[in-house]
Structure 1
């Protein structure tokens, strides 16, 4: 496998620069817009749940928002696909914490995130035999590096490239090359795709192109999955790096615009909900309670007890009043009483 940087590539072709300009503009708009709004934690929480769902769907791990939120309530609800999505979301947050603390993406970070996603400590592949096959024809379509030493050498090279800041290549172009290289190395037995997609957003945060993990390409890749794999293969077999880079840049542009739209819709829903809440239940309204209902989309009595610093009886009264007012829905999950903000769930399900 070829080592980074790919110095023989012309990364400033007219087509690449045009796509880069649009992607950079859209991403900068997203960053500025996200930084200008209150309650960022609510938006980030909602967006990371959508990403975890979409990224897992690429690996044929399909579930619903309803199941994901039930697992998040820790009510004992069992759904393996939803649990995998929740674990992926935890890995996103862990990666973000590490980047903010260390400002460095290492092989060890990627190993830790993959371990969270897959619930194992297998780490980097040690045994040969890994091959990628077509699920329908069973034909071998790619054989990644086999020996552990080669894999680790390639990861060290990738780590150096990720953290090098004094080159002249635009970070968005670098992200496209980093994504290609990581998936080509295929360093783990399982979880490479999802780990690689977390790496994308961590790289954007590392380079201050985003302040929080709110841009994900999984929905874009899902909608253009055949093209993704086709261009990945063309890059590997025919050195067609230009179309691959443009595909990723267009994904950044489109996803930035979609994320801005989603944030605006969540804001609009919160404002509408707030007005109705204050009109119907002015005596119990508080900003803390409103925030809690949008952060913990499926909430429980003890959440409100903690977030709003009230007694359990008062928290139960609040939630039951909101159900009676048509602002929440009640559901029994096992022995747990769950209160659902179905308006936000329906909104998120459209993206």
Structure 2
């Protein structure tokens, strides 16, 4: 069955007419068809989310896990848009060291972290998920770097298009600017609707597609649309912390991701999108649980090895603790953060290098940087530039 999910309007740009798509308000009409397979996939996704909540609640310090998980999500989401940063590049950038890629690439990833942390902070303070909050996050997302000239924090006042040199030759043209207010008001109402029969997990899935279809900004729509998923899941109580990110799933299955979005617009195949989305949630939550457990085992093993180093053990354990929060550090930073002397930090790092726990990664004689090798390897899985 083909479902109508919107209508086309004729618009013009530079004297050339084109067809732009204006999506119908959510929820879908006719309603979603929930067959046993779709229901089973949703249940599996919810179970996986429950397991992820359980793991994050028993972590000795949730911040340790989330700090870098947020950065990995920022990296992956930005890579989908074409940046070439690695996790090491981002961490070096945040440490004021020179990354190995164009500075605008790593700055875009840093902006994403900033936007997510701003949005989560506002939600924690009781501010509702709203169009105003989305604009605020967009301002953080584009405030520095290549997007700074693309009206940060402002909904677009002109047409945009996806694929092709111009709207009349594009693969897809979102609604014209004059249709944005109605589309966005309807989307905001859908965020908070509770009497339309749409379960919270499905609501996040549908809202993501609708946001991408509306494409309300001149730039940054893809990254902000992916951020919207985690905000909706957290607001619905399906997550305690921002510990689930789907960008790795979308990155590894990018062609299918775009096909599913297009199938919603062309034939109303919301059910196909939901199957894809639920499978992604279950897989991603499982990966997050596995990552958290592996990191805990790694830290326990390395702490035990350091306890056996004799008189250096106490200082080495202090350095290890700092590097569980920041897996790339300089001697200068470690002196500041631990209160140890520079020679003491240097000796501790030498012992950690000897044990294969850290590596020096710059090859320089001065201003060296050290990486917690296995920790960074676990965090970087799947996060290599496309």
Fold shared, TM-score > 0.5 on shorter chain: yes
Query: Which runs of 4 or more aligned residues in structure 1 lie more than 6 Å from their structure 2 counterparts after TM superposition?
Result: none
Q: Does 1:237 align with 2:266?
A: yes
Contact 2:137 2:153 in 1 (8 A): no
Q: Alignment RMSD, CA only?
A: 2.4
Q: Residues of 2 paired with 1:212 and 1:180: CA distance?
A: 23
Report the alpha carbon displacement of residue 168 of structure 1 after superposing the two structures with TM. 3.4
Q: Does 1:337 align with 2:361?
A: no
The structure having more radius of gyration, on CA atoms, is 2
Q: 1:50 aligns with which of 44, 51, 72?
A: 72
What is the DSSP-based 3-state SS (H/G/I as helix, E as strand, rest coil) of the residue aligned with 1:142? Answer: coil
Q: How does 1:259-278 map to 2 (within 5 A)?
A: 259-278=288-307
Q: Residues of 1 paired with 2:94 and 2:194: CA distance?
A: 38
Q: How does 1:221-232 map to 2 (within 5 A)?
A: 221-232=250-261
1:154-174 CA distance string (max 9 Å, x none): 222212221334553211011
Q: Residues of 1 paired with 2:201 and 2:278: CA distance?
A: 7
Q: Does 1:212 align with 2:241?
A: yes
1:149-202 CA distance string (max 9 Å, x none): x21332222122213345532110111110011101100011000001111111
Please list every run of 5 or more consecutive structure 1 residues that lacks an aligned counterpart in the other structure: none
Q: Residues of 2 paired with 1:70 and 1:131: CA distance?
A: 35
Q: How does 1:279-294 map to 2 (within 5 A)?
A: 279-280=308-309, 281-286=312-317, 289-294=319-324
Report the alpha carbon displacement of residue 339 of structure 1 after superposing the two structures with TM. 1.9
Q: Residues of 2 paired with 1:302 and 1:208: CA distance?
A: 41
Residues 81 and 162 (structure 1), Cα distance of their counterparts in 2 relative to 1, 3 Å cut: same
1:282-331 CA distance string (max 9 Å, x none): 23144x54331111111133443444344566545544553455432234
Q: Counterpart of 1:182?
A: 211
Q: Does 1:349 align with 2:371?
A: no
Bigger Cα displacement from structure 2, 320-329 vs 184-193: 320-329
Q: TM-score, normalised by structure 2?
A: 0.82
Q: Does 1:169 align with 2:191?
A: no
Contact 2:359 2:371 in 1 (8 A): yes
Residues 219 and 126 (structure 1), Cα distance of their counterparts in 2 relative to 1, 3 Å cut: closer
Please list every run of 5 or more consecutive structure 2 residues that lacks an aligned counterpart in the other structure: 1-22
Q: Residues of 1 paired with 2:356 and 2:193: CA distance?
A: 53
Q: TM-score, normalised by structure 1?
A: 0.90
